A and B are shown apart, each in its own frame.
Chain A
Amino acid sequence: MTVRVGNAALAPDFPEAAKKQLANAQMRHNVRYATDVIRAKRNRVVAEMPDWEALRESARQIKAHTLRHLNTYLEQFEKACTAAGGHVHWAKDADEANTIITAIIKSHGEKEVIKIKTMTSDEIRLNPALEAEGITPFETDLADLIVQLGNDQPSHIVVPALHRNKTEIRQLFLEKMKLENLGDKPEDLTEAARRYLREKFLRVKVGIGGANFAIAETGSVCVVESEGNGRMCLTLPQVFISLVGIEKIIPKFSDLEVFLQLLPRSATGERMNPYNSIWTGVSPNDGPKEFHVVLLDNGRSEILADEKTRQTLQCIRCAACLNVCPVYRQTGGHAYGSIYSGPIGAIVTPQLQSMQHSQSLPYASSLCGACYDACPVKINIPEVLIELRGKVVAAGGAPASEKIAMKAASFALSSSQRLAAAQKLVRIAQWPLLHDGTISKLPGFLGAWSETRNMRAIPAESFREWWKHRRKDQHS
């Protein structure tokens, strides 16, 4: 089985990749600006919802419930979708999904497909697999088009091209769309994309997309979008293929009343995104004549086994956790080496790969908890990060400095005499670091920790020593 998460298995460790990204001042500026804008919008539209916390709690419970009964919900979805004229396929891993999708396209003798933005297709590296079979995929989401034309990698889950500014995009469009001239206002660039893609929407016979939600009760698929490229791709072609991670299931149509409130406000800071499409199988005289759903496992069923980390699969890919993360805001998405970046990427990527790769990602966090507060389905990301760090350590993969520190701590803490001796030692060693009773800069690898924190000095007397003296004083 080849579980694949983009190219994450081959990516360098986070600290190494982050160092390179931090040197790119333009990228850092673009990322900080974009995340600031989305955060401000998100905070405004969340603040106007008096029942936001109740919605988050319901969403968490619906998702947790669905995951607990995922097998029966998947079977129910398959049955309902098939009854409505859809074809349901099951893919254990990336290669199987790519093979199934390629075979469907080839069975119609087609050489081109139009695509709705789907992170899952980046996860399984569908585009290179299609190209290897002589099929040209056209990304139709504006940001994905920018990433595809630039031979680039997505750097954010919702706005994958936020690391690019308009000057860079203009240059790219001029060259790849073979245009004579083009303005550099965002309006000009959007108009160029509209003209470039319209001909493809009206002509190409096969469409591919993901799913924001797959409804077990009805066998329906729901796609949430802004530009209308989604509607074009899922309405106009003769054949449509939905690539759906098995965790995208929700039990009932009525459960949309929770998620369609949380997702747009969390993702783009809108009260509602411009378009939602919900459809069930095939409809006579409306939309594609043939509809396929590829249910993708690719490591997800393994994540279900651990009750502590299972909550990872509750994610609805809104990227609110990226926008608030102090680490992501400094490094941008590429440092994570995975198409899933930010806090959610730090827990999704290593788990999908059964902790075999990306072991530095659970450390790409200061555990500040901002991601947990922002998450619309209340995934306790810090809790999962700590759990995964435990797994990395158990597998012997912790960073060297942490291993030495933890060994020393274990040695000192496992005996009261050793602890007392260590405290005495630190009391002496700390004096060059002290300023007004606090330590604001630690030496060596501990320096990173103290960059944003101050520590109180080790007091002249420990609690044990004070207790001992106190009892002596009382007795005398």
Chain B
Amino acid sequence: MTSLRTEILEKIRRNLRVAPEQREQDYAAIAREYQHSGKLALESRLELFAERLRDYGAGVHRCSNQQLSSTIAQVLAARHIHRILIPPGIPALWLATPEIEFVAGGDGLTYDELDKMQGVLTACTAAIALTGTILLRHSPTEGSRALTLIPDYHLCVVFENQVLETVPEAIRHMEPFSTLPITTISGPSATSDIEMTRIKGVHGPRILDVLLTKV
């Protein structure tokens, strides 16, 4: 295998004839004239985020930090969900609602057990207004990748100060976590493979609700 590697790299080197020392200098010279940061004030940014999410068919609700647990209960009741998975790091304050049974979604659950659950409640790391995107780094408040994938419903709490305007702002924000698993979510799963008709919900969660929360 090592000889194969050498053979391929040697061929590339021969065909390129470029001094490797130039690399960093070359990279720094790449033009980046595109828009890096946003220009919108907070409220316009939040409105744009909500509009883009609705455009994907996601539900959007707004509340204050104090109303968080009661809003969670209302949103879940409207979806007829009474039991919901939570990752281990969800603050107790969110869960102060007797109507809902919260199930710890730790490592102990099998895929089949996750498949039998109605939904999952998580936090996120950041969000992008321009594209209606939520970014997860699968921290203890966001849960493992399987947790936000197998159940059919995802309720995600996004704090207002987590909403960035542009893609470059979000990628720079995620840089410190770049070697952790990262998932970006823009609306419920979808396909347009049959006659270009967009259908919400294939394999990932078919329903996505976002709780946009004032800090």
Given contacts A194-B202, A271-B52, A272-B128, contact A71 B33 (CB under 8 A): no
Q: Could you tell me if B167 and A274 are in contact, using CB atoms closer than 8 angstroms?
A: no
Given contacts A58-B34, A231-B204, A301-B11, contact A161 B193 (CB under 8 A): yes
1/0 contact trace for A72-88 toward B, CB 8 Å? 10110010000010000
Interface residues on B, range: 35 or more
Stretch of A220-228, A382-390, A463-471 lying at the B interface:
A220-228
| B4 beta carbon closer than 8 Å to chain A | yes
Q: Which of these, B15, B33, B189, contacts A227 with CB under 8 Å?
A: B189
Number of A interface residues, CB 8 Å? 94
| B119 beta carbon closer than 8 Å to chain A | no
Q: Which of these, B9, B26, B132, B203, contacts A65 with CB under 8 Å?
A: B26
Q: Could you tell me if B146 and A305 are in contact, using CB atoms closer than 8 angstroms?
A: no
Stretch of B71-79, B96-104, B172-180 lying at the A interface:
B172-180
1/0 contact trace for A155-170 toward B, CB 8 Å? 0000101100110010
Docked complex: A237-290 residues within 8 A CB-CB of B: 246, 251, 253-254, 256-258, 260-261, 268, 270-281, 283, 285-287
| A34 beta carbon closer than 8 Å to chain B | yes
CB-defined contacts of B20 to chain A, threshold 8 Å: 69, 71-72
- Nearest Cβ in chain A — how far from B197, in angstroms? 4
CB-defined contacts of A473 to chain B, threshold 8 Å: none
CB-defined contacts of B5 to chain A, threshold 8 Å: 78, 90
Q: Could you tell me if B33 and A54 are in contact, using CB atoms closer than 8 angstroms?
A: yes
- Nearest Cβ in chain B — how far from A195, in angstroms? 11
- What's the Cα separation between A140 and B191 when bound, in Å? 12
1/0 contact trace for A131-146 toward B, CB 8 Å? 0000000001111001
- Nearest Cβ in chain B — how far from A28, in angstroms? 15
Q: Which of these, B11, B18, B27, contacts A251 with CB under 8 Å?
A: B27
Q: Could you tell me if B30 and A274 are in contact, using CB atoms closer than 8 angstroms?
A: no
| B41 beta carbon closer than 8 Å to chain A | no
Q: Could you tell me if A201 and B146 are in contact, using CB atoms closer than 8 angstroms?
A: no
Q: Could you tell me if A62 and B199 are in contact, using CB atoms closer than 8 angstroms?
A: no
- What's the Cα separation between A74 and B172 when bound, in Å? 23
| A187 beta carbon closer than 8 Å to chain B | yes
Of B12, B32, B133, the most chain A CB neighbours within 10 A belong to B12
Given contacts A58-B33, A227-B190, A253-B171, contact A198 B115 (CB under 8 A): yes
CB-defined contacts of A236 to chain B, threshold 8 Å: 111, 146, 149-150
| B187 beta carbon closer than 8 Å to chain A | yes
Q: Which of these, B34, B145, B179, contacts A231 with CB under 8 Å?
A: B145
- Nearest Cβ in chain B — how far from A220, in angstroms? 7
Q: Could you tell me if B195 and A198 are in contact, using CB atoms closer than 8 angstroms?
A: no
Q: Which of these, B13, B128, B171, contacts A254 with CB under 8 Å?
A: B171
Q: Could you tell me if A90 and B1 are in contact, using CB atoms closer than 8 angstroms?
A: yes
Q: Could you tell me if A301 and B179 are in contact, using CB atoms closer than 8 angstroms?
A: no
CB-defined contacts of B115 to chain A, threshold 8 Å: 198, 202
CB-defined contacts of A198 to chain B, threshold 8 Å: 115, 203
Docked complex: B66-117 residues within 8 A CB-CB of A: 107, 111-112, 115
- What's the Cα separation between A235 and B185 when bound, in Å? 15
| B168 beta carbon closer than 8 Å to chain A | yes
A141's nearest neighbour on chain B, judged by CB, is: B193
Q: Could you tell me if A190 and B199 are in contact, using CB atoms closer than 8 angstroms?
A: yes
- Nearest Cβ in chain A — how far from B66, in angstroms? 32
CB-defined contacts of B171 to chain A, threshold 8 Å: 253-254, 256-257, 260
Given contacts A71-B16, A159-B193, A227-B190, contact A92 B7 (CB under 8 A): yes
B152's nearest neighbour on chain A, judged by CB, is: A194
Of A71, A89, A236, A295, the most chain B CB neighbours within 10 A belong to A71
Q: Which of these, B30, B132, B196, contacts A271 with CB under 8 Å?
A: B132
- Nearest Cβ in chain A — how far from B88, in angstroms? 11
- What's the Cα separation between A304 and B190 when bound, in Å? 37
Q: Could you tell me if A228 and B149 are in contact, using CB atoms closer than 8 angstroms?
A: yes
1/0 contact trace for B143-163 toward A, CB 8 Å? 011100110000000000000
Given contacts A142-B193, A260-B171, contact A228 B12 (CB under 8 A): no
CB-defined contacts of A186 to chain B, threshold 8 Å: 194-195, 197, 199
Which B residues lie at the A interface, using CB under 8 A? 1, 4-5, 7-9, 11-13, 15-16, 18, 20, 22-23, 26-27, 30-35, 52, 56, 107, 111-112, 115, 128, 130-133, 138, 144-146, 149-150, 167-168, 170-172, 174-175, 178-197, 199, 201-205
Which A residues lie at the B interface, using CB under 8 A? 30, 33-34, 37-38, 50-51, 54-55, 57-58, 61-62, 65, 68-72, 74-75, 78, 84, 89-92, 96, 140-143, 146, 159, 161-162, 165-166, 169, 186-187, 189-190, 193-194, 197-198, 201-202, 215, 217-220, 226-229, 231-232, 235-236, 246, 251, 253-254, 256-258, 260-261, 268, 270-281, 283, 285-287, 295, 297, 301-302, 304-305
